[in-house]
Amino acid sequence: CSCLAEMVLPVAEVWPEVERAERLARGAALKWASGVFCRPEHLERLSQYRKRESQRTASIHTRLKSMVQSYLEGVGWGLEQLREARTELKEASRTLKKAGVESSRNTEGVKSLERLREVSINHCQLLAAVSNLPRLYSVRSMVSETERLVESRRLLEAHARLMELERWQDDILWQLHGAAGTSGISLSPEDQDLVAKYFSGVGRLVDALGKELWAVVSSALALARQNPTPFVSAVRIVEREEALDQALLEERGGSGGNSRPLPPGRPRGWRACFFQVLEEAVSARFRSVSYLHTRGPGLAGHLSALQHGLMADLATVRHLLEHCVPPHYRLTGAYLRASHCCLHAHLTQVSSWDLESGEIFAVLNWVLHIYNSPDMMGHPELVSEMEKEELGPLISSEGLEQLQSKYVQSVRKSVSEWMLKALQVELQDWQRDQEPDTDHEGFYQTSLPTIITQMLEENARVALMIGESLRDQTIQMGLYEMENLLNKFREALVDFGKEHRKEPSNNKSKFYLHYLLASISNCIILKKSTESLQQQQSSRSAGQFSRTPPNPLVALDRAVRRACRLVMDQLLLDLQPFLPGLLTRSWLAQGDPTPKLCHVLEHHLELYSRVRPPCRQRLQEEAQWLMVVEYVRALMQKRLVCRSAEERRQLAQQMVQDEQLFREIFHGLEGEGSVPEVNPLALLPDLADFIRLKDPGMLTLEVSGLAAKYPDISEEHVSVLLDVRSDVSRDIRGAVLDLLEQSAPPLPAGYRPIFTDILVPPPTIAFCLPTAKCA
């Protein structure tokens, strides 16, 4: 450390920063020594550390000396280069001074040549004027003659004269430009204006010739069928002009600063103008198609006229005009491209109109099927050109989706109106004073399902002609409207029932039940139609609709349930006059109301046979349940309380006889449909056995059997049955009711409760409490 400090100390007198570095070095050395020699025994290695540090210090001294030596050598070489550069700069400065002196001497000599330069310029201009006098005198006559040639459509001769005039104009301008350039002065604007004014007729000739050329190109389709010579001449002129443009651009664009300037109006680019005029001619052909009858039914005819006109023009271009132009023109492809662009713009405009469904169908069918068919662009001779041009779609995918959406909305409006009219006709049919019509199988029906089914299927069939996507959207829309119709239909059924209940004896209500049954059959037909439409939908259309999918089958089920409920209400209304005489003493003696009830049931079941299955079986089952419920309800009202064992036997026997009569009426039920798990008619013999039982002590066992078979039977029902027997002691009654309360099994799955629908009348208890207030 002391060696390093001694080395740094002389330098510290020059740079103050060295002193700070020295202090840091001494501090670092002290810290290192205190860490190494922290114990006395470590001092034994002091000589080793001193030797190692001496070697390290010597190495550092050597490297510092070599580094300083290399820096000094570089500084010396740099100083030598600076000395040489200073010497060379002094020599260059002396040479520039000599050149300045010589230049000032020459300037005085050049001034004496100014007059000679002016004379030379005048001489050159006069020489150019004299050499061009014959041409200048003949310019006006040539312009007039060329104008006559243009007017008579002798286009090639006119173009040759025009090229000669342009060459004269270009030569004169170049001579003037060359003379001015020789004298070091650019051509003045006055001279340029003078030449341009003298040759102004040339510019008019160019415009006139171009106008005639584009008129010929515009009428190329008509000329091709009569005389294609003017069109061929126009193409030759266009190619000459294009070759001149290319030659002038190559000659005068790459010859350096002394190149001749381009003549006025060059480059003309007449080939590009040729195709532009061709596109305008195609657009004019589209505009020439009559728009008077485009809207409404005339749109299909308009599109057909476009098709025939376009294909006729393409045939003319392909077979006639294509041979009048160079192959690189690819005239058929250019005409296809122009026609496609015009069709795209025109159909975009048509799509923006407020179109009806038939008009939208015509546009979609023309765009998606006719345009790419072999009758149009799918023609074998046009397929290769279409592939080369890589034309886009006539209508974008977004535009097609919007058109399809407009089509569906238009059809939806029409379908909704027709469904509403059909429903109104249906409601009017319900008021007729005659039975509903029947089909070939004898089932009741009206015109409603036929109209709805044919309308929805026809719309789906027409939409399929466009594509599966539109078919699926149309079916989806139809199902939505079907659901709305069925909801209105159900509401109409409710109103129909309310009106009938207000005036049940009205003549208009004579066939009330018949039209309810016809409505049920209609719903069955509509259900089959709905299922058929749902099957027609493709599987991939399920997730395409953001709205909640329609569920007409649920609406159908609701309408059928409501109609069946009204039919059962009418059955109950027809049975009601005879139900009060049921299970009375007169009934026990004569059995009077039962035949009348059977007659009503037979009449209703006969009408139910006019309903399509499976609702026919459903109505028969409901009628059976209704009859049994009303029969048991009459028993629960305790109209007949047995006084003796003989009366209990007679009551049970009459109940069995009634059950036999009812069973004969419903004999066809088991053969036509599914049999319910619990046959309600079996309840009557079971109750008869309960009443017939001679030993009251066996009632406990009998009740347990009833509870097992009919788990919804309650204590109130059993208590009424015990009251009807009138021979049960209080102990037996308590034991029976306790048993029933303890058993109370849960209702099994699929079991239809029957006692739940039978309410037990509350017992009438005499009011025996005193009227005085309590103390």
- pLDDT value at position 12? 44
Burial class (CB in 10 A: 0-12, 13-18, 19+), 476: buried
The conformation of residue 643, written as its DSSP 8-state character, comes to -
Cα separation values, 405 from 295, 296, 360, 365, 525, Å? 19, 19, 10, 15, 29
CB 509 within 8 A of CB 503: yes
Of the ranges 197-206, 288-297, 447-456, 759-768, the best mean pLDDT one: 447-456
Judge whether residue 277 has pLDDT over 50: yes
Report the candidate in 661, 660, 641 with the shortest Cα–Cα distance to residue 651.
641
Burial class (CB in 10 A: 0-12, 13-18, 19+), 353: middle
The sign of the CA dihedral 173, 175, 178, 180 is negative
Question: What's the mean pLDDT in 357-372?
Answer: 90
Provide the token pair at 498.
Answer: 């309310």
CB 292 within 8 A of CB 272: no
Between vectors from CA 640 to CA 635 and to CA 642, what angle results, nearest 5°?
Answer: 115
CA dihedral 109, 112, 113, 117 (to 10 degrees): 150
- pLDDT value at position 14? 55
Question: What's the mean pLDDT in 109-119?
Answer: 73
Provide the token pair at 206.
Answer: 């160019």
**Hey, which residues does 372 pair with through a beta bridge?**
none
CB 218 within 8 A of CB 281: yes
CB 360 within 8 A of CB 297: no
Judge whether residue 63 has pLDDT over 60: yes
**Type and span of the H or E element at 437:** strand 437-438
Provide the token pair at 265.
Answer: 């109006």
**401-567 and 577-671+679-757 share one CATH topology?**
yes
**Type and span of the H or E element at 10:** helix 2-12
Q: Helix (H, G, I), strand (E, B), or coil: what is residue 753?
A: coil
**Type and span of the H or E element at 444:** strand 444-445
**Cis peptide upstream of residue 326 (ω within 30 degrees of 0):** no
Judge whether residue 590 has pLDDT over 90: no
Cα separation values, 129 from 115, 153, 169, 186, 720, Å? 21, 34, 13, 18, 143
Q: Which of 138-147, 349-358, 391-400, 487-496 has the lowest mean pLDDT?
A: 138-147
Q: Using CA atoms, how far apart are residues 91 and 331, in angstroms rounded to an integer?
A: 74
Question: What's the mean pLDDT in 286-315?
Answer: 77
- pLDDT value at position 135? 60
Judge whether residue 358 has pLDDT over 80: yes
- The CATH number of 577-671+679-757 is 1.10.357
Integer distance in angstroms from the first to the last C-alpha of the chain?
123
Judge whether residue 106 has pLDDT over 80: no
CB 563 within 8 A of CB 493: yes
Taking each continuous run of H as one helix and of E as one strand, the counts in the chain are 28, 2
Q: Which of 183-187, 197-201, 282-286, 324-328 has the lowest mean pLDDT?
A: 183-187
Q: Using CA atoms, how far apart are residues 431 and 267, in angstroms rounded to an integer?
A: 88
Count of CB atoms situated within 10 Å of the CB of 445: 21
Burial class (CB in 10 A: 0-12, 13-18, 19+), 121: middle
Question: Which residues are within 8 A (CB) of 176 and not within 5 positions of it... i.e. 6 or more apart?
Answer: 125, 128, 187, 191, 195
Judge whether residue 688 has pLDDT over 50: yes
Percent of the chain scoring above 90 in pLDDT: 32
In the structure, what pLDDT confidence band is assigned to residue 353 with cuts at 50, 70 and 90? confident
Question: What's the mean pLDDT in 454-475?
Answer: 92
Phi/psi for 445 (5° steps) reads -165, 160
Concatenating the DSSP letter of every residue in 547-592 gives: SPPP-HHHHHHHHHHHHHHHHHHHHHHHHTTTGGGTTSHHHHHH--
**Type and span of the H or E element at 438:** strand 437-438
Judge whether residue 327 has pLDDT over 70: yes
**Cis peptide upstream of residue 676 (ω within 30 degrees of 0):** no
Judge whether residue 292 has pLDDT over 50: no
Convert the pLDDT of each residue in 534-569 to its tens digit: 888 876 554 455 467 788 999 999 999 999 999 999
Convert the pLDDT of each residue in 646-661 to its tens digit: 999 999 999 999 999 9
Convert the pLDDT of each residue in 256-271 to its tens digit: 445 566 777 778 888 9
- pLDDT value at position 775? 39
Of the ranges 289-293, 716-720, 736-740, the best mean pLDDT one: 716-720
Q: Which of 57-71, 108-122, 483-497 has the lowest mean pLDDT?
A: 108-122
Count of CB atoms situated within 10 Å of the CB of 236: 16
Judge whether residue 183 has pLDDT over 50: no
Q: Helix (H, G, I), strand (E, B), or coil: what is residue 366?
A: helix
**Type and span of the H or E element at 179:** helix 155-182
Convert the pLDDT of each residue in 232-254 to its tens digit: 988 999 998 888 888 888 876 55
- pLDDT value at position 8? 42
CA 313 vs. chain centroid, Å, equals 36
- pLDDT value at position 668? 59
- pLDDT value at position 505? 67
Percent of the chain scoring above 70 in pLDDT: 84
Q: Using CA atoms, how far apart are residues 533 and 536, in angstroms rounded to an integer?
A: 5
Q: Using CA atoms, how far apart are residues 602 and 668, in angstroms rounded to an integer?
A: 12
Question: Who has greater pLDDT, 573 or 743?
Answer: 573
- pLDDT value at position 554? 93
Question: Who has greater pLDDT, 131 or 100?
Answer: 100
Question: Who has greater pLDDT, 186 or 15?
Answer: 15
Between vectors from CA 480 to CA 477 and to CA 485, what angle results, nearest 5°?
Answer: 125
Domain ranges of the chain: 50-249, 270-395, 401-567, 577-671+679-757
Q: Using CA atoms, how far apart are residues 236 and 228, in angstroms rounded to an integer?
A: 12
Q: Using CA atoms, how far apart are residues 726 and 720, in angstroms rounded to an integer?
A: 10
Provide the token pair at 189.
Answer: 């604007």
Q: Using CA atoms, how far apart are residues 763 and 173, in angstroms rounded to an integer?
A: 132
Mean confidence (pLDDT) of the chain: 83
Convert the pLDDT of each residue in 12-49 to its tens digit: 455 667 788 888 888 888 888 787 777 777 777 778 88
Provide the token pair at 111.
Answer: 């001034």
Provide the token pair at 65.
Answer: 């000396």
Judge whether residue 7 has pLDDT over 50: no
- The CATH number of 401-567 is 1.10.357.50
Q: Using CA atoms, how far apart are residues 322 and 331, in angstroms rounded to an integer?
A: 6
Burial class (CB in 10 A: 0-12, 13-18, 19+), 615: buried
CB 719 within 8 A of CB 737: yes
**Cis peptide upstream of residue 614 (ω within 30 degrees of 0):** yes
Q: Helix (H, G, I), strand (E, B), or coil: what is residue 775?
A: coil
Question: What's the mean pLDDT in 109-118?
Answer: 73
Provide the token pair at 131.
Answer: 């050499």
Judge whether residue 768 has pLDDT over 60: no
CB 556 within 8 A of CB 523: yes
The conformation of residue 101, written as its DSSP 8-state character, comes to H
Q: Using CA atoms, how far apart are residues 64 and 73, in angstroms rounded to an integer?
A: 14
Q: Which of 192-206, 529-543, 628-642, 732-746 has the lowest mean pLDDT?
A: 192-206
